[in-house]
Structure formats: C-alpha cells, structure tokens
Amino acid sequence: MQVVSPLPQLYYLANFLELLEGVQQQYSEILPKPYGQFIHRFQRLSPNAQALLVRLLSRKGNYFRLAKLNYPELGELATAVEALAAEQMVALQPPVAADEWLPLFTKKEWLAKITAGLVPGLQADLGWKRTEMDSALQTALTELSPDQALELAQEPIVELRAQPLFAWLKLLYFGNARQDLSEFVLRDLALSQFEPYAINRQTRLFADWAQVSDHMAVVELADRWQNTAGDDIEALVALAEQVPTPTGEPQDARLERKCGQLLCDIARQLERLGALSQAQRLFAKTGELPARERQARILVSRGLPEQAIILCRAMTESPASDDEFEFAHAFAYRVAKKLPLAYWPKPTVYQPPTEHWRCPKEPGEWGARLPEWAVAKKLSASGRCFYVENHLFLTVFALVYWPVFFAPVAGAFSHPFQSQPHDLYSQDFLKRRPDVLAKTEAWAFSAGPDGHLPLPCLLQRLEQKNGINHSLVFWPAVDEALLTLAIENISVKDWRAIFDYLWGDLRARRKGLPDLIYFPSAGGAELIEVKGPGDKLQTHQRRWLAFFHQAGIAHRVVNVAWQ
C-alpha cells in the first residue's frame, strides 16, 4: 500500500508560485504590462499575504466576511488583508450589489438582521423557505445605498479583485479554463504522474498575445452562452456574431475547434427555435461536427432537398468523420427516394460472422461482465482468452508511438500535467512530427509485414512508463504476459493496419474495439465481440468489425443466451 506523505502547510502557495514561474518562463516577453506588474507586486508581498490571496482565489465567489476566514496556518489575517488592499488585489468594505449579499449570511443570520430592523421595509417570516427569503431580501436590498448595505453587514467585508487576472494566468499556464491548482495537489500526493516532456518558449501553446486574447474571448463567450436566455433569438444571433474568426498564422486548430463548437451550440438552439436561416448561416461558418449534417437537415426542412443531396455528396467525398460519412449516405438515400429524378445507392451495412451460444449463467472473475466471462471460459479449453475491450490495442498503440506523442513540437506542451499534447486530435498532428514519426515506424515495423513488433523494447517501455498519465492508456488492463501474447501472435501487417486506422480518426476510433481477444493454442489471435441477451452492436463497434473484415483480421460476434 502506497504511503502518502502529508503536504506542507503552505503547499498551495508553492503551487501558485510555480504557476507564476511557468507563465514568466514561457511568456514574459509578450505579457501586457498589467500582468507583469501583478506578478511583481505579488512577489513583493509577505508570505502570509501571498498565501491568503491564493486561498481566496481558490474559493467560490468574490465577496467574503473577514470574520469567517479561518486559516490557522496564517494566524491573524488583518495585516495580510491590509497588505492585499494596498496592492488593490482585494478591497475592504466595497460597494456590494444586492444579489452578492445573499450568500454571505445564513438564513438564521438574515432572520436575526430582519428581526432587528436592519433591513428597512421587511418583516421577518419564520415560515420562509430560503428561496422565498432571498426573493424578499433581493427586493429590499436593492433599495439600500452602498453605505446602508455595509452598515447592515455589521462586520468587515472583503472583495477579491484579482480573480480576472488569475483567470488569464490559468489560461496561459494550462491552455484552458478547465484546470486549476488541484492538478498540483494530485502530483504532490503522488496520485498523478506525467511524462517529463520539454516545456519552454519553443513548445508553448500561444505564439502572441492576440492568440491568447482570442482564446479568452471564446471562454468568456461560452460563459455568456450558458447564461443567455434560450428563447431569445436576437440575443443568440448577437452572441454568435462576437465569436472570433481565427485567421492567424500558424493555424490555431484548438481555437478553430472552440469557436466552431460554440457556433454549433448556438446554431443548434436557433434551429430548435425555428430560426432556420440564421442557424444554417452559423453552421456554414464552421467545419466542426455536426455542422454539415445539421445544414443538410435544415435544407430539407426549408424545402431544398436537391441542395441537401449536393451537400451529402460533398460529405461522402471528403468526410470529416465516420459519423458524417455514414449520415450522408443514409440521409441522402432517404431524401432521394422522395425525388422523381434523384438517385442514391442504398447504404450497405457489414454483417460480421455471428454465432449464438447457450451458456450457464455463473459468477465469474469479471464482475458484471457475465456474458464475456461465459464466452472466455468456454474458449479457454482450447487457448487463452482475455477481456481487453479498447485497452490492449490503445496501450500498444501508445507504447509504440510514445516518442511521437511527447515530441517537443511548438504548441504541444505548456504545463507539466498533460496526458496528451494539446494538438493530439488536430488533422495535421502527424504532419507536424515527420522525423520522429518516420524514425518510430522504421523501428517498430523493421521485422517486415509477417514479422513481429520489437517485443523486448516494448516490454521495457511498458515497465518504464507504467503509471504515467496517457489519455489512451489504462495501465492495469495490460501486463507483460498479455503484451507478450499479443506481440507474438499478431503480425506487423495487422498491427500497422490497426494503427493506421486509429490515426485516421483517433477521437472517434479510440472506442468500439471488441470485448475479448482469443489466442488459440495453435497460434494467431481472434477478436470477439460478445453480446448478452437484449444487447445489440453499436455503430462504432460495427465500424471496427467492418475494418477487421477489410484488413483480413480474424473476428466474430458471439450472442449469448442463458441456459
């Protein structure tokens, strides 16, 4: 059992200082003056004042009761608060909006204030629910001047004013608005391990401040989208018009994706509201999924089926994903059937080899996966069978291409807590790493099509990398024995076909692989998808089975019925 060492008292301050150092090392020459000044002013503060600010930045809200701030490791807080106020990082006794007052006090405390006559024009009602009391308070507090509201508090109030700058610093460090200082804690507790890839100005995510500003604009617009009235068409259109149009060089695929996703979300809501022309215009501005699918559906709804078929043809000729390709074929076929002069061939669906087994329903070693266990137990009489689902092939894929995933490429890594490069799912991921890709594949496939992947090197890499966070890998699912069997029984030709298929649409194809891998005593390997009573093949599973058919890789489906 792993023993976790306790964190030092001011661990959170050390982590924040590390974040600041990372931002300075990567971006000091492009930081606008206010950001550099903030860092300099923060570094001048006493450790207690620094630590208090980090504590406040880690809490929800911007307003706090000084009397309720309790951090024993910091001792008396008044001096630290005054130091922060002198640097304008907090404000003491600030004007507070009515709705900001409500969460500062408990229901019991508010009732006491109302009963004491501190809220003019409001009588206490002991039968109030909290929501009812808040509604009444909202109205009453709106009538108060800021000075009257502060008198109502009867104690010092602190406003945090560094939050906007902190949001920018997190964006610079993490590259997104999602991660926070908890990442450092998981690392410090040894609960997360990461590859020691290079982080410097050459690999940083943002090339210039304009790029940073565009990313923050999308973050803020996404927040506004969440708070925009869902039935206000004019507000939705106005919001969409503010979404940036990425035009910088080099191309920022992550920004394009964020902008495209936001436009798709807004356009989808407009479509639901019946604003079809506005929705179609927004969908046409982005290549994000499912923009072209929605455009085709809207064209049919607007009585333009011929244009929908033309768009579907473009999707089949240059699909953005497997989903889009299959949608275009199926949708165009349905639309064409209703048109006198249009023709579209009926889509074909691959039917994999399928067997029907009757098995005893017995508890097994795989928990709730009783059908898979029943099939594996039966097959074990003539070979070895493992439950692998997506884990085996993705782990081998990650081990083989490990140097490619963690190559020091511009925009790939900006902080030490990444389980994948920032651009993993961009269309030009491999094109941006030609040398390391060529070297990796020359090493991995050196034995020729009928040979095997380099087992000793992969076993060594499995041992070295085991436990390191990788977005494609679940380490407990693959051990040396399973890896050895897989490498010894699957040819380079088949591995390479699987790897190439994964690279074709990694985001979508990382799921859907068969449940079991079976190694017959006579040699070789077979992939088996197991379906219990009432279970059916999913679309992404069918795609993998169709690929195995095209690649000549042994596979089947086993439908289990209980005896």
For 133, 445, 449, 456, 483, the CA distances from 452, given in Å and listed in that order, are: 72, 8, 8, 11, 12
pLDDT at 177: 80
Over the stretch 44-100, which tens digit does the pLDDT of each residue have? 999 999 999 999 999 998 999 999 999 999 999 999 999 999 999 999 988 887 778
Q: Which of 41, 70, 53 is nearest to 13 (CA)?
A: 53
Average pLDDT over residues 264-270: 96
With pLDDT > 70 as the criterion, what percentage of the chain qualifies? 98
Over the stretch 277-321, which tens digit does the pLDDT of each residue have? 999 999 999 989 999 999 999 999 999 999 999 999 999 999 999
Which token pair is 12? Answer: 């959170």
Residue 121 — very low, low, confident or very high, per pLDDT cuts 50/70/90?
confident
Which token pair is 268? Answer: 């989808």
Lowest-pLDDT range of 189-203, 312-326, 434-448, 513-527: 189-203
pLDDT at 87: 96
pLDDT at 124: 83
- Whole-angstrom distance, CA of residue 6 vs CA of residue 8: 7
Residue 356 — very low, low, confident or very high, per pLDDT cuts 50/70/90?
very high
User: Residue 250: is its pLDDT beyond 70?
Assistant: no
CB–CB of 513/486 below 8 Å?
Answer: no
Residue 2 — very low, low, confident or very high, per pLDDT cuts 50/70/90?
low
Contacts of 522 (CB under 8 A, 6+ apart): 383
For 152-220, list the strands marked E by DSSP. 157-160
pLDDT at 1: 44
User: Residue 110: is its pLDDT beyond 80?
Assistant: yes
pLDDT at 153: 83
> What pTM does this model have?
0.87
Alpha helix stretches (DSSP H) within 143-181: 146-153, 163-174
- Whole-angstrom distance, CA of residue 183 vs CA of residue 314: 43
- Whole-angstrom distance, CA of residue 78 vs CA of residue 86: 12
User: Of 153 and 236, which is predicted with more confidence?
Assistant: 236
For the chain, domains (ranges, CATH) are 11-174 (no CATH), 207-337 (1.25.40.10), 354-562 (no CATH)
With pLDDT > 90 as the criterion, what percentage of the chain qualifies? 72
pLDDT at 248: 57
Average pLDDT over residues 239-265: 85
Contacts of 140 (CB under 8 A, 6+ apart): 119, 120, 121, 122
Residues 450/490/507/246 CA torsion (nearest 10 deg):
-20
Residue 364 — very low, low, confident or very high, per pLDDT cuts 50/70/90?
confident
412 DSSP assignment: S
The angle subtended at Cα 370 by Cα 369 and Cα 372, nearest 5°, is 70
CB–CB of 243/280 below 8 Å?
Answer: no
Calculate the average pLDDT of the chain: 92
Contacts of 509 (CB under 8 A, 6+ apart): 322, 501, 502, 540, 543, 544
Over the stretch 368-413, which tens digit does the pLDDT of each residue have? 789 999 999 999 999 999 999 999 999 999 999 999 999 999 889 9
User: Of 126 and 207, which is predicted with more confidence?
Assistant: 207
Average pLDDT over residues 163-185: 91
User: Residue 146: is its pLDDT beyond 80?
Assistant: no
Average pLDDT over residues 8-31: 94
Which token pair is 544? Answer: 């993998």
Contacts of 223 (CB under 8 A, 6+ apart): none
pLDDT at 4: 60
